[in-house]
Structure formats: structure tokens, C-alpha cells
A and B are shown apart, each in its own frame.
Chain A
Amino acid sequence: MYRLALNMLFGDRAKLAMLLCGLSFSALLMAQQTSVFFGIMSWTYTPVVNIRAHVWVSDPMVEQANDAKPMRDTELGRVRSVDGVAWVAPLHTSFLQARMVDGNFKLITLVGIDADSFAGAPAQITQGRIEDLRLPNTVIVDEWGAQLMGRPVKGADGKMTVVPLKPGDVFEINDIEARIVGICKVRRAFTGGPFVYTTYDRSKTYTLGARRTLSFMLAEPVAGVTPAELCDRIEKETGLKAWTTDTVIWNWSERSLAKNTFWWFWKNTGIPFSFGTAVALGLFVGIAISGQTFYSFVLENLKYFAAIKAMGASMGVLARMLIIQAVTAGLIGFGLGAGMAQAIGRVMIEKGMPPFVMFPQVLLATLALTMGISIVSAIIGIVKVSRVDAATVFRG
């Protein structure tokens, strides 16, 4: 009987198309918006991903990775003296204006790393060498920054194109020369500015000798000590705040800087509400279109359901027929919607904008919500069919 139920569904192609439109649009909206949301939220803790170390140490008032409260350099020695610390390196981060050759200004994230150990250096240098940062007035720029800060050139066809920055090019930070010695590949940040790496000492120069330039300290535990244990020790002995750097969203520890950053943005910005609204809208549109279309499908087939009822089909059989029809439509709609979301995501990832992170959990949640829409639609149909009197088949 259930095979026939599916044939009834697939036989009405116009209704099926409408039903699938509603369900797939809904699944697309839910999956795509949630993935963009997680993409944007993953950008919030980009510094933790780009600047790699097992433990970050900060001022105790710091709440998240983009919130640097500069400390005195003497704190380095205090942390270094904590039992279980293998090494500690200074880290400077600040937002500054960079002046291009053409006189234009761009906001950058300046990252000052330890010139001895290069702790916190980008993992992937695509052009140049990290060691060249030891040369005077040198910086390494990320690929996106090289493009963003590139030189606009008028082509032969009259169109403007941008020639990306390359090693050897120069720009200014606070009127001080910054010569590019390398291009790196790092993840983009929520704050927007490209990453410009230099040495910790030179970052003091670029910030015009600010009194406190130690934004964070990067620390490594000795063998046998876990990052979490080291954090406990650092906090206990120095009164500073210590963070772990696990970035796997479903496996965050309580001390994770990424986690605290994620939730800080969750609580303090309108991003979750904005994307939540889009997801809720997807759910609402899905229920409205699919529920209405499925109800219309049931209404159109009501006399046949009444006939089947008269022939001796129990309400249980009819309910299962409707559920199978709705769930099948839901599964196809989910497949189409999630597939479209994936396709859009691929284009987004290639372009790098907007960020797109589709966790398997997002797909599972979208599937569950799409099934929820289908079940609601089926229930609407079941209520209608349960109220139809089998005797109506004799009324012409």
C-alpha cells in the first residue's frame, strides 16, 4: 500500500514540484544561513587559528581573542618562571592604518611575533622567508591583504585591475616604512583587516612606542603537562588569565579561547539573532508552503482517501500513507536544498566571501527540521483525512 502511496505522490507532478520547492528552499535557507553563520563566527577566533601556540596568556580582564589589554613586558618573566612552562614568547596585536603607495589607507591587524623563536608565525609562507623578518622595517602580509592593498593599474582595455603586493613592495604604518619580505596564507578575520606580521620589537616602533605592547603571551608546556594544567598553574601563580587554543567547535574545553571568543560574539552582537531570524524564516516558509501544498494535495485526493477508507483501510494505514508521502517529499527536498547549499558554499569558499562552514551537525539539524516540516504537513493531512466520512463516497 505504501508503494502506491508514493506512486500517488509522484503521479501528481505539479503538486510534487511545488512541495519540493517549498521544502528545498526551506532546507537551503536553513543550511546555507547556518553555515554562513558558523563561517562568520569561526572568523571571530581567527587569531587563535592563525597564531599557533598551545597556551595563550593575557591580562585577567581579557574576554576574547580580539580584546587585547596590553601588559608590561615584565609579565613574560613571571610566566616563564611558572613550573611546567617550556617557553614563553611575546605577542603583539593591534589594529592600525596602513598607507599605500597611492596614498590610500587600509585598516590592518598588526601581529608582532618573537624574532628569536618566531612563535606564532603563519604556518604557510607562500612567497619569501620568515627569517627575513629579522631585516630592518620588514613585514609579511597575508594573501588577501596583498590583494586588498595592491596597486590599481589601468589595463590596455581601460579597465582598472589590481596588481597584488609582492615581496619588495613597500607601504607605511604610522609613517614608518614597511617593506614586504613575504606573503603568507592565513585565515581571514572577523575584524576585517588583513594580517601584517612583523617582529615583536618592531611592532613597538610601528605603534609609536606605546607604553604597553604585550597583548598576549604564547606559552608551551613541558612534556607531561597538558595545556589545561599549565593554564591552571599560570593563573594560580601569576594572577593572569591563561587559555587553551582548541578550536574544534564541538570539542571545546572550558578554557578554550576560541570558545570564549565565539560566545562573546554570540552574546554581544546581533549576529545570532540576524541569522537565527533567517533560519526561523526558512522554517516558517517551509511549514507554510509545504503544509499548504500538502494540504492541497490531500484535499485533491480526499475522495480517493475516502474511497480507500470505505474499502476497509484503517486510519493507521491512511496515516502511514500520508507520513510516507510527506517524509519522502521531505527527504528529496532536504537533498535538493542541502545540495544547493553545498554548491553555493563551494562558490563562497572559492571566493572566500562570505565565510562558509558546513558542519555535519548543520546538515543533521537541517534534515531534522525538514523532517519536522514534513511531519507537520503530514499531521495536517491526517487530521483532514481522519475527519472525512467514508460514507461520502456514495454522495457523488
Chain B
Amino acid sequence: MSNDHPIAVSARKVDMAFGLGEAKVTALKQADFSARRGELIMLVGPSGCGKTTLLSVIAGTLTPQAGEIEVFGQRLDGLSQEALTAFRQKNLGFVFQSFNLIPTLTVIENVMVPLLIQGMKHSLARAKAVAILEQVGLKGREESSPNALSGGQQQRVAIARALVHEPPLLICDEPTSALDKDTGAQIMQMIRDLSRSPNRCVVVVTHDFRIFRFADRIAEMEDGRISRVVDDPSTLEIQPHL
């Protein structure tokens, strides 16, 4: 991974706190973070260090109290909720820890959701969903219920849903935590392959040290800020909390 690749995501001096008075919890303290185009970067750290909050801020689902957020050239801080919603719609794909596939919809209907949110015609959305499902190896399972699939297959559906509208930024929250080692490795290989595009960046939050090898860089967080960034994941010393 070359350091020459342009910056895709940057967070500068971001502050975020929840609650008031004695109940106030500071999640991010002057946090700085950056990810490059074509890169798969992992955010790691102990529980409560601010990984999820930073991910939410980058994803535009939380608005920071201070600091600057820029994603693919678009400043997110200061945008209205409507503008943030529109931004997420076009530029972000999500892979969630618990997949968040709607159980009452079929596999293909789940994958179509981001396209239909954008207002795409049902038939066109369906064609695109069929194509991406084939790409993730789920051809023939289009009409299945998500509950009828294995954990690995469900995560593949989630990846298909995250990518069907071709977003530049893919946000993955603990994508392998519900999967066994081999399935997790397969999923990470797929995500890594998908990140290999100059117009894409993948940010993965994880506790799973078994998948560190798939990262181009690893940013370690501690007490609401990035404590260090490791350029060669193989050199990362595995901490007990990781």
C-alpha cells in the first residue's frame, strides 16, 4: 500500500462526549484519523476506547461537537441532517456486526434496499442485486430467507447490500465477530479484494486479531484518540485487550 495514495477519510481534532455533568462520558478527545483511497484500514482498541464513536462520526451518523471530518472531499461537520442522510445514501456502505438483514425480506430484497432508498426502479434494482449476489457467490440463493443461510452467507449478503450501490467508503463494524475462523478469513479476503480500487476505502472496526493480516494499516485507539498507527500489521504486538 503506497503512502502516495490520496486521503479518502480524514478526521482532525474530533471531540465527542455523551451525557452532561457527572454523567458526562468523553468518547473522543482531539482524535485524528486518516484513511487513504484503495486502503483497508482497521481500527482496533479496547472496549470503550471510542472506536464505534469514531466510526459513527466518519459515517455521518453522529455529529461531533468539535473537529473536522472529510470523506472523499466532502466536509461532513456542519452539514444538516438531511444533507448527511443524502451523503450516506450515495457514498457509504455498511457491514454490521449482527448483519442487520431484515428477516421478513428475501436475500435479494435485502440487497436491493440501498438502491430503492435512492429511488431506483424496482426492476433495475433487482438486476443489480442479482449481479452483486453472483459476485459474492450467492447465485441461486436470491429468494431465500436470510435465516435460511449460514452466518458466512448472511455476511456475504450484508457485503452485497453494502456494495450494491457502489459507495466509495465501506464501513465494517466487527464483520467477523459472528463467524468462525475460516469463514471470517474468507469474508475478510473478499472485503480486502473489494478495497483494492483507487475509488474505494474500507474502514474496519474489529477486536479479532486473527484478521489483522488483511489490513493495510492498523490504527490503535486508546482513551478516545488514536494512540498509534501501524503500517505493517505483521509487526503489531498482540495486546491482551485485542
Contact = CB atoms under 8 A, between A and B. Distances in A.
Tell me if chain B binds chain A. yes
Given A312-B89, A314-B85, A391 B102 contact: no
A313 interface: yes
A365 interface: no
B94 to A, nearest CB: 6
Interface in B53-105: 55-56, 59, 61-62, 82, 85-90, 92, 94, 96-98, 100, 102-105
B102 A304 contact: yes
A4 interface: yes
Contacts of A314: 82, 85-86
A394 B109 contact: no
A10 B103 CA distance: 12
Interface in B5-31: none
Interface stretch (B111-119, B183-191, B229-237): B111-119
B199 interface: no
Contact of B92 (A1, A4, A312): A312
Which size bracket describes the interface of B in this complex?
Answer: 35 or more
B181 interface: no
Interface residues of A, number: 28
Contacts of A233: none
A8 B113 CA distance: 12
B173 interface: yes
A393 B88 contact: no
Q: Is the interface of A mostly helix, strand, loop or mixed?
A: helix
Contact of B117 (A1, A10, A303, A396): A1
A119 B55 CA distance: 90
A309 B85 CA distance: 8
A4 B56 contact: no
A304 B114 contact: no
Q: Which of A11, A12, A393 has the most CB of B within 10 A?
A: A393
B117 A312 contact: yes
B86 A312 contact: yes
Nearest to B97: A396
A11 B103 contact: yes
A65 B103 CA distance: 64
Interface in A378-396: 389-391, 393-396
Given A311-B88, A311-B94, A395-B52, 17 more contacts: A4-B105, A4-B109, A7-B104, A11-B104, A303-B98, A304-B100, A310-B59, A311-B92, A311-B114, A312-B85, A312-B87, A312-B92, A314-B85, A390-B61, A390-B88, A391-B61, A396-B97
